[in-house]
Amino acid sequence: MVNDMDKLQTFYSSKAWRDLTYILKYERGARCERCGYRPPHFSRLIGHHRIELNESNVGDAGISLNPDNIEIICITCHNKKHRRFNGNKHNVYLVYGSPFSGKADLVRELMKRGDIILDIDSLWQAVTFNSDKPNNIRFNVFKLRDCLYDQIKMRYGKWVNAYVIQTLANKHERERVAKELGAELIYCESTKEECYERWQNSGKSEAYIQYIEDWWKIYLDTPPGVDISGFAH
């Protein structure tokens, strides 16, 4: 039996939702319809349902896919709408996307002091002092990751929000991790060309060329994941 959260997550994973919100962002001038902010990228804007979706109405396209029921707003206005960071405890967000898609920058916009940030790339660098990922250290890095996973999964500590930053190109794997952590998925939207350009300006090793290539091959060979447009409705 599919539970309520699975129904909503399936909808926000759908191509129909992603395509519609992308079109609305473009048609409405790529700006927040509440405060007027024009972010540097579409992924900083969110599709918000005026009539909140639930298990009863998510299958009604007249509500879930009705442009008149969808407001394009920025992350700040969306957080205010849902009263984020005002006493809510232990929210977990799984931020995924291609290498050099801007995941860490997105989290810096969202985070507040006292939040947990688990950036797998930063964990590799902290352990190895290398910009690439030596295979012989993989076991150790993943054991550290799993330790932090357990703390987040069990909601240990006094943190308010946790952001887990990973690439997770495979749809089934990211949904498994999201379910394990009790996390909402946030897709950091980008193009392969944008990722290559960021890599060229980063000074990182050429090993990342293959990381980018591999990510896009896997991602495009599987159904699209949740766009940031579906973030935390």
pLDDT in tens, 150-173: 889 888 888 889 999 999 999 888
For the chain, domains (ranges, CATH) are 4-230 (3.40.50.300)
Q: What is the Cα–Cα distance from 134 to 149, expressed in whole angstroms? A: 22
Is pLDDT of 232 > 50?
no
Q: Output the six-digit token pair for 14.
A: 């759908």
Residue 23's pLDDT is what?
92
- Mean pLDDT, to the nearest integer, of 171-189? 87
The pLDDT of residue 82: 59
pLDDT, averaged across the chain: 83
In this model, does residue 138 exceed pLDDT 70?
A: yes
pLDDT > 70? residue 226: no
Does the pLDDT of residue 227 top 70, yes or no? no
Rounded CA separation 63/30 (Å): 22
**How large is the average pLDDT for residues 77-83?**
67
Q: What is the pTM of this model?
A: 0.62
Report in angstroms the alpha-carbon separations of 193 from 163, 197, 216, 222, 224.
26, 6, 11, 20, 18
Query: What pLDDT, in 10s, does the model give residues 86-115?
Result: 444 688 999 999 999 999 998 998 888 889
pLDDT greater than 90 at residue 222: no
pLDDT of the residue at 224: 45
The rounded percent of the chain whose pLDDT value lies above 90 is: 35
As a whole number of angstroms, the distance between CA 89 and CA 97 comes to: 26
Strands 161-166 and 70-74: unpaired
**Each residue of 4-32: pLDDT tens digit?**
556 776 787 788 888 899 899 989 999 99
